[in-house]
Structure 1
Amino acid sequence: MTFANVGTLGTKAGQRDALVEILLRPKPELRDVGCLLYEVGINEDVPDTVFVCELWESAEAHQDSLKLEGVQAAISEAAPLLSGDNGGHRFTVLGSPLRTDGTRQSRHSL
């Protein structure tokens, strides 16, 4: 079942762009473990925050990605830039009005 993780990463003052640079480095291995979408963004109204939207084949695929050497290295490099003011939501995706492939999940099957 498709899994989404939409969150914010707070950075120490002036470290937002450095974090964005780390997050945007190519990591094709993410696709191999089941990443369907990984988008990084900013909002000038909150200059020390990075927004991340992830879509995965499953919650397990997301967990598997955290074991990848490249992901672990990125986490270690990014950690000193973070303020600890993080937030977000994780949820199971039920479907989309943009897709007609029958991926809508029944609420009873959850």
Structure 2
Amino acid sequence: MNKFAMFGKLTALPGKRGELADMMLASGDTLSGMDGCIYYIVHEAEEEPDVLWITELWESREAHAASLQNEQVRELIGRCMPLIAEAGGIKVKPIGGKGL
């Protein structure tokens, strides 16, 4: 399986999680037509009021890399950066399960 996935963690500046989430969710329009994007889901952490988790599944590592070169995606990242205190996450390789 050549699928590529990421679990991203974004810590918003205090009190800015909702605004950041709204911006990230607006990217759904951009990603809906993006070749290779299977899913992109934004989650609010229940016990961390400033944290968002983003799960992404792509057809391949190359499809994900290509998305980061997209002008609309780069513009979105630029708009979000002033709201982010910390960013991190992990890259994972899906090996099976429901939905794949």
Match of 1:50 among 49, 52, 62: 52
State the 1:95 CA deviation. 1.4
Which has the larger strand fraction? 2
Identity among equivalent positions (%) equals 34
Partner SS state of residue 29, structure 2: coil
Counterpart of 1:11 in structure 2 is 12
Greater shift in the superposed pair: 86-95 or 36-45: 86-95
Kindly indicate whether residue 3 of structure 2 is the aligned counterpart of residue 2 of structure 1. yes
Equivalent residue for 1:77, pick from 72, 76, 79 = 79
C-alpha distance in 2, partners of 1:46/1:37? 24
The structure that has the greater radius of gyration is 1
- TM-score using structure 1 length: 0.81
TM-score (norm 2): 0.88
Whichever structure has more helix as a proportion of its residues is 2
State the secondary structure of the residue aligned to 1:36.
strand
- 1:22-101 to structure 2, matched below 5 A, reads 22-25=23-26, 26-84=28-86, 86-96=87-97, 98=98
Unaligned runs of 5+ in 2: none
Aligned residue pair count: 98
- What residue ranges of structure 1 are gaps of 5+ in the alignment? 104-110
RMSD of Structure 2 on Structure 1 (CA): 1.6
**Greater RCO, CA 8 A, separation 6+:** 2
Give the whole-Å Cα distance in 2 for the aligned partners of 1:11 and 1:87.
12
